[in-house]
Chain A
Amino acid sequence: DSGVTQTPKHLITATGQRVTLRCSPRSGDLSVYWYQQSLDQGLQFLIQYYNGEERAKGNILERFSAQQFPDLHSELNLSSLELGDSALYFCASSFRGGGQETQYFGPGTRLLVL
């Protein structure tokens, strides 16, 4: 158990819908990362937050947005869902960020868009 929690574990929805994925980082970690793992794109970095502020952005679609709340949990919002958004979405956390720290991954949320 990494100490990072993600809910829900599984999500099935239809095209055009909107979903919210939630992540709680390890106790004491200030930085949260979101990654997408799909069959065709592999593992891709989406976005990083540090202590409530956006720190880095990767290949995140405009239809996707995220935020980190004062209690440090984070939410990833996916809207106008398409079939290609079906993937495993990981959240990871570390204390401040940077490679000197280990990123601890949550168990992921498996999203299926029908």
Chain B
Amino acid sequence: AQTVTQSQPEMSVQEAETVTLSCTYDTSESDYYLFWYKQPPSRQMILVIRQEAYKQQNATENRFSVNFQKAAKSFSLKISDSQLGDAAMYFCAYMNYGGSQGNLIFGKGTKLSVKP
């Protein structure tokens, strides 16, 4: 079974600085998807970024980028120019590729605080 591990329960960053959240996963599959979701205090789950395992290029979305290391099964999220609105729980998630079964497997989350 696939597992997702986030080893940093809490992180803190100064406003305008850069922070990196870590995620490792375990799978025997060669094709899969990886995601980072944000959960602000409102509890809404918001997709931040997605990476397809077959793509070597790291995904980027504005201030958010990932460092995907397939061999190491590592998928970290870098947030640049951190803003107060980035304060939230961040969940790393995995999904098998193919078919229409698309259930997400989540890590335990990292709580990010942003200091003004």
**Which A residues are within 8 Å of any B CB, using their own CB?**
2, 31, 33, 35, 42-45, 48, 50, 55-56, 58, 88, 90, 92, 94, 96-103, 105, 107-108
Contacts and interface: CB of A to CB of B under 8 A. Distances in A.
B105 A45 contact: yes
Interface of B: 32-33, 42-47, 50, 52, 91, 95-109
B105 to A, nearest CB: 7
A21 B50 CA distance: 29
Point out which of A56, A103, A107 has the most chain B C-beta atoms below 10 A from its C-beta: A103
Judged by DSSP, the binding face of B is loop
B100 A105 contact: no
16 contacts: A31-B102, A43-B106, A48-B103, A50-B100, A56-B102, A88-B43, A92-B45, A97-B100, A97-B102, A98-B95, A99-B33, A99-B52, A99-B97, A103-B102, A103-B104, A105-B46
